[in-house]
Amino acid sequence: MNESAPDSARFEAPDDFDAINRLYRERRWSDGLPVVPPTVERVERMLRHTRRSREEVVARVAPAFGAATVERIAINAVLAGCDPEALPVLIAATEAVVEPQFNLQGIQATTNPVAVWVIVNGPAAQKQGVNATFNCLGQGAWANATIGRALRLVLQNIGGALPGEMDRATQGQPGKFTFCCAENEAANPWEPLHVERGYARGASTVTVVGAEGTMNMNTHTKDAGELLRAFAETMMHPPSNDYCHGGEPWLALGPEHAEILQRAGLSKAEVKRHLWEGSKMPARRMTGKDLLRVQDSRGAELGKIGPDTLLPVSHRPEDIHFIVAGGPGTHSTYIPSFGNTRAVTREITA
């Protein structure tokens, strides 16, 4: 975007952590947690990690269509506690969420709890310290916590999605505070996500996913067929946007589970095909009202839909995605999507 916007407003505030946080709390410029005061010095330090001009409009962020300038992204990164080196990751993530196929307008304003899951691939993940191993979807890693949080603040403060106002989420979910990890590429027996999506192995990327939540799948089986059946049966979920609209569900495979599948000689495409076939759900499992919704939404794709129709979770097997993430253990995670969204990957550049 070649547009430019005016400088961000500057406020004189006492050099006092509590006073500044009071101001942010009153103006609803935070996510409910204390923020790092975005002093001119801190924002300037952040801006040194991009070659872009501070006035450049990276994106217009729905639903308020606020101008996400480089400087405003940097301010939100400071608020979230990001290391200055993280700015290019956030710029790429902001570019990614506004791609039309991501459907940010829907994601920001819906009653659905959808959060934006940020996946970092390539050398930037290690350089920024984005955790891909033990507890990578949990607490403890500065980069995971602050990058995900900063993107949420961009969506709220620039995009205008304040809870109860333009963010109409009925309940939301904890992932709306932060939801960020890296792929455990070292433990991935297949090509990593960014290579699958057309980027060079040495490139660094950020992928954004409209994620409804996380469902743990703990199974001790060592049999690939049983493992795929357990995953597919977890995916079957009647009140699901994926089944209603034909979505794009994700899995984060623990390295041990990934190894079982790879040892069985399965490619990524074959894993997806097995999951797609195995997760077809009889439409009768939906409520009557939801069956009407799926008939409206997927009639053109599937033809006549009755109670005996087997609904696929996505239009095509290749719409199911997975990364390898986490440390040792027999756990993987199912991450259903918002349904009307498609993940977007952008390269991270300075």
Partner 1 sequence: MTICSTAFVTLGRAQASALGRPDLPIAVIAHPFGLRTREEVRGIAEQCVDDIARLVAGNKP
Given candidates 38, 122, 148, 160, which one binds partner 1 under the rule CB under 8 A?
160
Phi, psi values for residue 327, rounded to 5°: -110, -160
- 105 or 133: whose CB is closer to partner 1? 105
H/E run at residue 345: strand 344-347
Amino acid at 169: A
**Is 286 near partner 1 (CB under 8 A)?**
no
Q: Which among 158-166, 185-193, 237-245, 261-269 is the span making contact with partner 1, rule CB under 8 A?
A: 158-166
**Is 168 near partner 1 (CB under 8 A)?**
yes
Shortest separation between residue 65's beta carbon and partner 1, angstroms: 5
Phi, psi values for residue 85, rounded to 5°: -65, -15
Q: How many residues does the chain have?
A: 350
Q: Which among 5-13, 61-69, 74-82, 113-121 is the span making contact with partner 1, rule CB under 8 A?
A: 61-69
Given candidates 36, 65, 222, 273, which one binds partner 1 under the rule CB under 8 A?
65
CA distance 252 to 90: 22
Shortest separation between residue 68's beta carbon and partner 1, angstroms: 14
Residue pair 244/339 in contact by the 8 Å Cβ criterion: yes
- 6 or 303: whose CB is closer to partner 1? 6
- Residue keyed to tokens 């609904």: 311
172: left (phi over 0), alpha (psi -120 to 50) or beta: left
Number of helices (H) and strands (E) in the chain: give both, helices first. 13, 12
CA distance 13 to 27: 14
- 288 or 303: whose CB is closer to partner 1? 288
Q: Which among 62-70, 178-186, 251-259, 336-344 is the span making contact with partner 1, rule CB under 8 A?
A: 62-70
Q: How many residues bind partner 1 (CB under 8 A)?
A: 11
> Which two three-digit tokens encode residue 132?
């891909």
Residue pair 182/121 in contact by the 8 Å Cβ criterion: yes
Given candidates 63, 122, 246, 249, which one binds partner 1 under the rule CB under 8 A?
63
**Is 67 near partner 1 (CB under 8 A)?**
no
Given candidates 5, 36, 166, 215, which one binds partner 1 under the rule CB under 8 A?
166
- 161 or 227: whose CB is closer to partner 1? 161
Given candidates 5, 64, 215, 236, which one binds partner 1 under the rule CB under 8 A?
64
Shortest separation between residue 292's beta carbon and partner 1, angstroms: 11
CA distance 106 to 112: 9
CA nearest neighbour of 5 among 65, 62, 69: 69
Integer Rg of the chain from CA: 21
Binding to partner 1 (CB under 8 A) within 183-242 occurs at: none
Shortest separation between residue 69's beta carbon and partner 1, angstroms: 17
Q: Give the interface with partner 1 as residue ranges (CB under 8 A).
A: 63-66, 109, 160, 164-166, 168, 289
